[in-house]
Amino acid sequence: MSSTGQNFRNPCFCNPWSSSKPVISSSGISGGYTDADLAADMNSLTFAERQAMEEDIHGVADVIEETPEFVSSKIEEMKQALANLNSQQRQAWDRAVFLRPALALDGLFHLIFLRARRFQASEAASLMAAYLRAKRDLWGDDLLIQRITWDDVRVEPDYMDLVGR
């Protein structure tokens, strides 16, 4: 059994790359993968793996108790993780903090990304950096630290020519 707990000798439906049987053929769903195969794959999972898969499917997860101490410690971890990002990843974050220094201290802004990544500070820091990078790429420095509204979304005439309107 691997370190993730999955037995790679027994193919699993939830990991199509581990199966030697084609799940989907060029003509649609393959007849080679039956309900019995699916049942065997599900039975080969541990209880924790099945529960995690069901939670993913149904959008249900464990509740994380957000005590003030826990949240503040995770925000500090996230700030450290942001500082540890390489300069290319951190470029938009650095520019946003330059334009609005209070952003570095805005716990609620950090909390949005921490909640999105279930309080995994390094993942939340990467997500925040990617968000700011995308926002800067799309709208530039002018709107990097502003809330985007419908008034900011413009359809350029060249684009209208491309879609034929």
Q: Is the confidence at residue 78, as pLDDT, over 50?
A: yes
Pair 56, 77 in one domain: no
Pair 45, 106 in one domain: no
Share of the chain residues as helix, strand and coil, in percent rounded to the nearest 5: 60, 0, 35
Pair 73, 107 in one domain: yes
Pair 50, 86 in one domain: no
Mean pLDDT of the residues in the chain: 80
- Domain stop point among 25, 43, 62: 62
Whether residue 96 is contained in a domain is answered as yes
Whether residue 158 is contained in a domain is answered as no
Pair 45, 104 in one domain: no
**CB neighbourhood size of 114 (10 A):** 24
37-63 exposure pattern, b = at least 16 Cβ within 10 A, e = fewer: eeeebeebbeeebeeeeeeeeeeeeee
Which pairs from 131-138 meet CB under 8 Å and 24+ separation? 132/92, 132/93, 132/95, 132/96, 133/89, 133/91, 133/92, 135/92, 136/92, 136/95, 136/96
Whether residue 43 is contained in a domain is answered as yes
pLDDT digits (tens, 9 = 90+) for 94-145: 999 999 999 999 999 999 999 999 999 999 999 999 999 999 998 899 899 9
CA–CA separation, 70 and 93 (whole Å): 24
Pair 41, 113 in one domain: no
The domain tally of the chain equals 2
pLDDT digits (tens, 9 = 90+) for 143-158: 999 988 888 877 666 6
Whether residue 35 is contained in a domain is answered as yes
- Domain stop point among 62, 78, 100: 62
Whether residue 165 is contained in a domain is answered as no
Domain with 74 in it: 68-152
